[in-house]
Structure 1
Amino acid sequence: MNDPAITYPTPRRLDATQALWLKGAILMTFLAASTVPSPLYALYRAMWGFSPVMLTVVFASYAIAMLLALLVFGALSDYRGRREVVLASLVLEIGALILFWRADSVGWLLAARVLQGFATGIATSALGAGLVDLHRERGALMNSVAPMVGLGVGGLGSSVLVQFAPAPTRLVFDVLLLVFAVFLVAAAFLPETAQRRPGAWKSLLPSVDVPAKARATMLRVLPVNTAQWAMAGFYLSLGPTLARTVTGDDAPVVGGFMIAALSLTSAAAIALARRIAPRQASSAGAAGLAVGVVVTLAGLHWRSPGLALAGTVVSGAGFGSAFSGSLRSLVPLALPAERAALMAAFFVASYLAFSLPAIAAGLLTSRLGLEPTAIVYGLGAALLALTVFLPARVPRPAGK
């Protein structure tokens, strides 16, 4: 029995700066882990012999699970607190990594991707809202930069291990398990930034809840946001195939390098775009995205690695600038108790654009070939991005 005379100190919480960096690192690593399986798919297909259609199903399973998690659990941290939800997402991610490590058939791979999608969806809204709780400007910047750095590091790092390291289908998950175990312990010391309140069970009803003040802005940024995430989905799903076609090199690191070029350029553009007003950043990003897509398609057509790389870099810069503008336009429009719901709605729209067109492109590629699919897909996304330059509709005064 504990001696009543003895007092036990409460755990020391991290300060705001430490918590900001830890949440940013966790968010970055979640997104890095989400791209790690991509370079491994060729090895899995060689080992288990599943079809390209099944590969599309595996890709879709992650995206659908993530979207369901955002719809169901996206607002939960507004009611239960950020730290509790972040800890739950870390436990789920560790479970997914164990499934990847254990995988010996496509069924195991499918289960791992579904669980990883749920974990990432739950984490994204809670971490995104928690970052803005800690610091509105730096939190919004971290929300934009961390996912892009994670996508680039995960794709390139995994492809390097596939090409040069022993046991690539195990080693990368050994590393991630260690990293997420450390994060699980560290996250227990995060300060709570959202007050608990009743209504948690009701919040689990699937919904997309955009605060009234943010609705007009959400509709305004939706077309360019859809275009930029659709292009990101194309690069991450078919980018390695495109890189092999253009360069004639089957090395996994070639595809990983293309993903990294897009993602890391995006992160750099996000950091620079914070000096520009949000609307100007969105417009500049839309123009860059459209130009980059056209240059990339020219590189594919003429089998020019230089043009394809230049187009990818310009597309990445456009993505980063537009993403920064969209996020910075929305963040100030939500009250603290509405932030997780707004972030969930924003990421639902983003990941729908990221996943559904990419799935369709994967199916079309098997029927039409890479180049015709890429041309239709790329030009469609470029035209959608350029709608940001259409004049805004001015409502008529009443009575006229």
Structure 2
Amino acid sequence: MTVGQSTTPDHGALQQDSPSASGLRFWGTAYTLLILLTGTNVATPLYHGYAQRFGFSPLVMTLVFAVYMGVLIPSLLIAGPASDAVGRRRILLPALALAALGSAGFALASNVVWLFAARILQGLAVGAASGALTAALTELEPHGDRRRAALVSAVASAGGMGVGPLLGAVLAQYLPAPYVTPFAVELALSVPAVVAVATLPQTRVASRWRPRHPSIPVGMGALFAAAGTGAFLGFAVVGVFLTLIPTYAATLSGSANLVIGGAAAALLPAAWAVAQLLGYGRSERALEFTGFPLLAIGLAALAVAGSISSLPLLLCATVLAGAGHGLVFLSGLTAINAAAPVERHADVLSTYFVMAYCGSGGPVIGVGLLAGATGLLSAVQIFATAVAVLCVLRLIIGAVVALGREWRR
């Protein structure tokens, strides 16, 4: 089935913009990515309360999170290539509408079915928008700097994952209607994003789009294998932190204050964003060789934190793991963004995001299943230890491959 037929690229609209107008569109697109990810994470500190209100187990909690990934991935595979053909705006406006419906679903939730429905809508929205927004940032970067565009995309994503839990926790803890107010505020913050997307130039490439299975451009296989492995491991950590760490932190602190759990969840993407800003301009290899050790050390500290019931150590572990993931993810995103063919830009980025988001699905469900048998603290400890070992192995393999390349030269 053909979705759309494109015309020649309308690059003139971008070239004729004044520097101020081009910069405004660029940062408007970055804000859209930020607020989209904020909206999908506002509910993070509320899941423990939902479990108590609706009477579901840690496994169901992880399934609510994982169903988001289950629809996000096919949405990425369909909408990313489609936006290359029909234009970014035609994909992004419906995606924002789906995100708004997802937020409304949380605000109206009266049982766990509403939560599943809201997460499905959010997954469809983020899947449709991720590749298109990242590609749009690259196209709109005023100086054509793909590395800077990748940095802004990564930091905006991390910012949304951090702002969401903290915003949700503060609003739910200190304002009336704790299960409605956070989503109402998030919807209000989405209005400027809709305006920003509505004013994007309708660029598209000269191609027709048809549904197809995921594919990697010729010559990018090794790059995808290296970048995708790191992204998978990093997002496995992100998925578990954002889903379970608020409850984990509340257990260690003995406090019911939502801000403690929300701040603990927000700390990881905050460290992720700061590390990316500090790492900007470094080579992909340097980012990777710094990021994997930090990620492994953070996970080891997370396992120990549960053993000694230390909230400060948990927070230190969160910072280390977040910084490590931020550097690893930036390394992969920068490499993929630079190598992606122009005519398949959003398509290739979407495939990379699929590899990353797969890490947020299965491992989270595994931790939920394990928590039912061993308890939450033990399940997180086992997960942290296993992923730390995998990070060390990935680092060793990367070092061996790099040495091999140097030797062949």
Answer yes or no: same fold by TM over 0.5. yes
Indicate yes or no: 2:391 matched with 1:388.
Answer: no
Contact 2:147 2:338 in 1 (8 A): no
Displacement of 1:150 in angstroms is 0.6
> Is 1:199 the counterpart of 2:181 in the alignment?
no
Query: Displacement, 1:196?
Result: 4.2
Q: Would the aligned equivalents of 2:59 and 2:371 in 1 still touch at CA under 8 Å?
A: no
**2:106 matched to which residue of 1?**
100
**Structure 1 residue aligned with 2:328, among 322, 338, 345?**
322
Alignment of 1:242-261 (within 5 A): 242-261=248-267
How big is each residue's C-alpha offset from its partner over 1:105-147, in whole Å with a ceiling of 9 and x where there is no partner? 2222221111111011101111011111223122111111011
Q: 1:114 aligns with which of 115, 120, 131?
A: 120
Distance 1:366 1:33 in 2: 29
1:224–1:384 contact (8 Å) kept in structure 2: no
Letter in 2 for 1:102: L
Q: Is the 8 A contact 1:145 1:267 kept in 2?
A: yes
- Give the distance between the partners of 2:343 and 2:110, measured in 1 at CA: 44
Q: Counterpart in 2 of 1:159?
A: 169
Alignment of 1:1-400 (within 5 A): 15-135=21-141, 136-192=146-202, 194-200=203-209, 202=210, 204-205=211-212, 207-386=213-392, 387-390=394-397, 391-392=400-401
**Cα drift, residue 155 of structure 1:** 0.6
Which residue in the other structure is 1:5 paired with? none
Q: How many residues are treated as equivalent by the alignment?
A: 381
Deviation of the 1:56 alpha carbon: 2.7
Instruction: Give the match's secondary structure for 2:333.
Output: helix
CA contact (8 A) 2:79 2:129 kept: no
Name the structure 2 match of 1:3: none
Which has the larger displacement, 272-281 or 379-388? 379-388
TM-score (norm: length of structure 2): 0.88
Instruction: Flag structure 2 segments of 5+ consecutive residues without an equivalent.
Output: 1-12
How big is each residue's C-alpha offset from its partner over 1:320-376, in whole Å with a ceiling of 9 and x where there is no partner? 111111111211111221110111111101010112101110121121112332222
Q: CA deviation at 1:241?
A: 2.1
Moved more, 15-24 or 141-150: 15-24
C-alpha contact 1:296 1:308 (8 A) present in aligned 2:
yes
Deviation at 1:199, TM superposition (A): 2.0
CA distance, structure 2, for counterparts of residue 38 and residue 94 of structure 1: 17
Give the secondary structure class of the aligned counterpart of 2:262: helix
Identify the residue that residue 5 of structure 2 maps to in structure 1: none
- Per the normalisation by structure 1, the TM-score is 0.90
Moved more, 31-40 or 151-160: 31-40
In 2 relative to 1, CA 332–291 (structure 1 residues): closer, same or farther, beyond 3 Å?
A: same
DSSP 3-state at the match of 2:359:
helix
- CA RMSD in angstroms comes to 2.0
Instruction: Measure, in 1, the Cα distance between the counterparts of 2:384 and 2:106.
Output: 32
5+ long unaligned stretches in structure 1: 1-9, 396-400
Distance 2:59 2:295 in 1: 29
Determine the C-alpha separation between the residues in 2 that align with 1:93 and 1:308.
32
Letter in 1 for 2:206: R
What SS does the aligned partner of 2:215 have?
Answer: coil
Letter of the structure 2 residue corresponding to residue 389 of structure 1? I
Q: Distance in 2 between matches of 1:225 and 1:381?
A: 12
Paired residue secondary structure (1:307): helix
Task: Output one character per residue of 1:20-63: Cα deviation in whole Å (capped at 9) or x when no partner.
Answer: 11111111111111111122223323333334333233212211
